Amino acid sequence: MKYGYLVSLILILLSTTLFAKDKEYQLSLSAVGMSMDYSEYLDNGELYNTEKSALNDILGLELKLKMITKLEDEKYSEVGVSLMSVEGKTQYTGGIIGSGLGYGSYVGTTYNSILDMKIVYQHRQILKNNLEFTYGIGFGYREWSRALSSTQIEIYSWFSLRPKVGLLYRYKDFSVAPSLEYQYGIFPEMSFDMNGRAIILNLGGANISKFTLPLKYKYSRKLNIFIEYQYERQIIDESNIVDGWLEPRSEAYNQYIKFGAEFKF
């Protein structure tokens, strides 16, 4: 599987930090709800099809492991890995290929599964006792399986570089940490099966801009409880043409709500 390369990278990077001093580990598990607002467009800008869902239509889990190492006074480094997997249905509105009919001529249900894996390195600078600035970069892999029917399954996949900046503010046992992240897609492609033959289209781009707002409560010295909101804008650019097939430009506005617990050890 393609993300086997990412798993190998994660293991290598983690192994280089296992013997660092003054470190703390954090393991978190959260339930995830995702809403999707996806649209494809023809060359002339005309809307071709959409996929829409509510936050309770696509559900899953996210697992994170983070190691925090103290570098010097008021400076820390973090290495973290995460895996998110969600599945669910969206309402498809569009048309049937080859029918000659436009948007809205067909309404159906699409089954979706999304896998997102990443490893992130961050630097934390304490500005005041209750305020921190963070910046870093990640490397990830994303795969979206879009089953419009039992015979039409489209798989979008790409690696990505993910620079990130954020702030963290603490007030008593609560903390809030807004952040911005940009994901630049590497080797993006869309594949599907046509009469037993795999068709692979090279996408012109697959980039995501993301805003994250987590709110965390310190329940005890070893346990935090959190809720997190995420908003992302995904742009997939038009692909090349293979045997007459082309993947059009698309935009997606996705939202996530995550609720979970974080354990320190």
The tens place of each residue's pLDDT in the chain, 265 residues long, gives 555 655 665 555 555 455 555 788 999 999 999 999 999 998 888 999 999 999 999 999 999 999 998 887 788 899 999 999 999 999 999 976 666 677 888 899 999 999 999 999 999 999 988 999 999 999 999 999 999 988 889 999 999 999 999 999 999 999 999 999 999 999 999 999 988 899 999 999 999 999 999 999 999 999 999 999 999 999 999 999 999 999 999 999 999 999 999 999 8
Residue 247, CA atoms < 13 Å, CB-side half-sphere: 24
Distance between CA atoms of residues 88 and 207, nearest Å: 22
Query: Which pLDDT does position 73 carry in this prediction?
Result: 77
Q: Which two tokens stand for residue 74?
A: 């008021």
Backbone angles phi, psi at 8, to 5 degrees: -60, -40
CB 162 within 8 A of CB 150: no
* Residue of 129, 249, 253, 255 whose CA lies nearest to 190: 249
Each domain of the chain, given as residue ranges in start order, spans 4-264
Q: What pLDDT score was predicted for residue 62?
A: 98
Q: What are phi and psi of 216, to 5 degrees?
A: -125, 140
How far is residue 107's CA from residue 246's CA, in Å, rounded to a whole number? 22
Q: What are phi and psi of 102, to 5 degrees?
A: -90, -160
Q: What b/e sequence results for 143-180 when a residue is b if at least 16 CB atoms lie within 10 Å of its CB, and e otherwise?
A: bbebbbeeeeebbbbbbbebebebebebeeeebebebe
Contact yes or no for 24/67 (Cβ under 8 A): yes
Q: What is the pLDDT of residue 159?
A: 97
CATH architecture of 4-264: Beta Barrel (2.40)
Q: What is the pLDDT of residue 101?
A: 74
Element (H, E) at 11: helix 4-15
What pLDDT score was predicted for residue 51? 97
Rounded to an integer, what distance in angstroms lies between the CA atom of residue 69 and that of residue 17?
Answer: 9
Give a three-class secondary structure readout of 175-200. Answer: EECCEEEEEEEEEEEEEEEECCEEEE
